[in-house]
Amino acid sequence: MMTYDMMPGTPRRIRPLGRSARSGAPRPDIPCYVVGPLCGGLDRLGGLLDTIGQDIEASGLNRSRIVFLGDLSGGATAQDVMQALAGAEQASDGEIVVLMGDRERALLDFLKSPPAFGPVWLAQGGRAMLSAFRISLAADITPDALWRAAAELAAALGPDLVSWLARRPLLWTSGNLVAAHAALDPGLPLRLQSPETVLNGHARFHTVPRTDGRWVVHGQPGSAGSVHQHGRIAVGGGLESQGLVSAARIVAGDPVRFLFSQHEGMRAAS
């Protein structure tokens, strides 16, 4: 049995869903909980892990996987989120899997070539991360200023965390289920999927069904929190703006269910 005591939990809601109308269903070889974008929300992470741990115990699951779809970074608590997940993954004996998201890729690209990739990363929460480390960057940025900010940020994160981020896989598969941050090209097998498609999406992903029987669980916008036909399951895309994070509970033979954990600051408004 896994326990999650990294941080205190928050109130939670569980919404059951019926079976998809698609012939067939997702059948992972091991029960899994696939977590949508966190975007630097430390309290969201703690609340959802508490929810998942209670569901594992209530379901009597002897083994399971928790798969994070990336977008860990962004915002003032991004380093805490990344460090918490790096430590949890390394201590979990394979029970926790953390995939690469486009925010992590943008952060790594910024550290490698600040002038080329700085504007993209800054637009994805990079300025908030720099502010959290008290790294200043003027609104009128220059290449020299970007190089300086990148060097200071790399030193603050530390080589171990940067190396861990760079090792994040693009995909996770189990049975006929594949987890990807954004999308797959529906016309290509898994081995031919490009990082650009997996991290940033594909024009035909939401309209053209795959023909290989695989279900794709992903974290990009598109009726977040619902099971789609044609083998697509969206988890949490766009919910971070509401102070929420969600996970899809996917167990062979069971209907897909979504677990939600609410941001502490949003509780009074709900």
What's residue 225's pLDDT? 54
Query: Tokens 């190396």 correspond to what residue?
Result: 163
- Per-10-residue mean pLDDT of the chain, 270 residues long, equals 34 38 77 85 79 92 93 75 92 93 92 94 85 85 94 95 96 97 95 96 92 90 59 75 79 91 40
Going along the chain from its start, the domains and CATH numbers come out as: 12-101+169-269 (3.60.21.10), 102-167 (no CATH)
d(CA 91, CA 61): 19
d(CA 7, CA 16): 26
Token pair for 243: 């102070």
What's residue 177's pLDDT? 97
Token pair for 57: 């115990």
What's residue 238's pLDDT? 54
Which residues touch 62 (CB under 8 Å, ≥6 apart)?
none
Residue 43: burial class (beta carbons within 10 Å; 0-12, 13-18, 19+): buried
Q: Which of 39, 35, 20 is nearest to 65 (CA)?
A: 35
d(CA 139, CA 208): 42
d(CA 74, CA 71): 8
Q: Which of 261, 222, 262, 259 is nearest to 16 (CA)?
A: 259
Which residues pair with residue 178 across a beta bridge?
173, 216
d(CA 240, CA 263): 9
d(CA 107, CA 130): 11
Residue 138: burial class (beta carbons within 10 Å; 0-12, 13-18, 19+): exposed
Cβ pair 210, 186 in contact under 8 A: yes
What's residue 228's pLDDT? 65
Q: Measure the N-to-C terminal CA separation of the chain; round to a whole number of Å.
A: 33
CA atoms within 13 A on the CB side of 97: 21
pLDDT tens, position by position, 29-65: 999 999 988 865 677 788 888 889 999 999 999 899 9
d(CA 37, CA 235): 8
Strand duo 96-98 + 171-174: pairing: unpaired
What's residue 208's pLDDT? 92
| Type of residue at 79 | Q
What's residue 265's pLDDT? 35
> Could you give the angle at the alpha carbon of 202 between the alpha carbons of 196 and 204, nearest 5°?
160
